[in-house]
Amino acid sequence: MIDTLYKKALEVRENAYVPYSDFRVGAALLTEDGEIYLGANVENASYSLSICAERNAIFKANADGKRKFKALMVVADTERPISPCGACRQVMAEFGDYDVYLANLKGDIKEATSFELLPYNFNKEDMDEK
């Protein structure tokens, strides 16, 4: 399954819309029920409106009502495996603790989990009334 996620993340990476950074990222998200949602980064002339590949995949799954995840694979052309931004780490952690594989084009894959990538994360329980 890791191989499949890596291959699909590589494929969708080709669809990244990156006229400003020229930095392509692909993400493949495996849901608990065995579906795979793909995301690539999409940039904008108003730079801060750009969306990362990871959040694109997670939001696509959400749009189909899928919120339970088994694994997320992220791939970019980096020396070390890609390191997701803080915004993506917060969004990943929203949906629980699941495997996150961070990869590069050379095939290096760093294994982590969504909670490991955001220690002491702020989540919905923090908003429960005391």
Q: Among 2-10, 68-76, 86-94, 100-108, which window interacts with Zn ion (CB under 5 A)?
A: 86-94
Decide: is 25 part of the binding site for ligand DUR (CB under 6 A): yes
- Let me know how long the chain is: 130
* Out of 72, 82, 93, 100, the residue judged to bind ligand DUR by CB under 6 A: 82
DSSP class of residue 77 equals: S
Tokens standing for residue 45:
């002339």
What is d(CA 29, CA 54) in angstroms, rounded to the nearest whole number?
8
Is 94 marked as a binding-site residue? Answer: no
What is d(CA 30, CA 70) in angstroms, rounded to the nearest whole number?
6
Placement of tokens 């749009």 in the chain: 63
Decide: is 93 part of the binding site for ligand DUR (CB under 6 A): no
Is 27 marked as a binding-site residue? Answer: no
Contact 89, 100 (CB under 8 A): no
Look up 129 and say whether it is catalytic. no
**Contacting positions for ligand DUR (CB under 6 A):** 18, 21, 23, 25, 41, 43, 50, 52-54, 74, 82, 84-85, 88
Binding residues: 41-47, 52, 85, 88
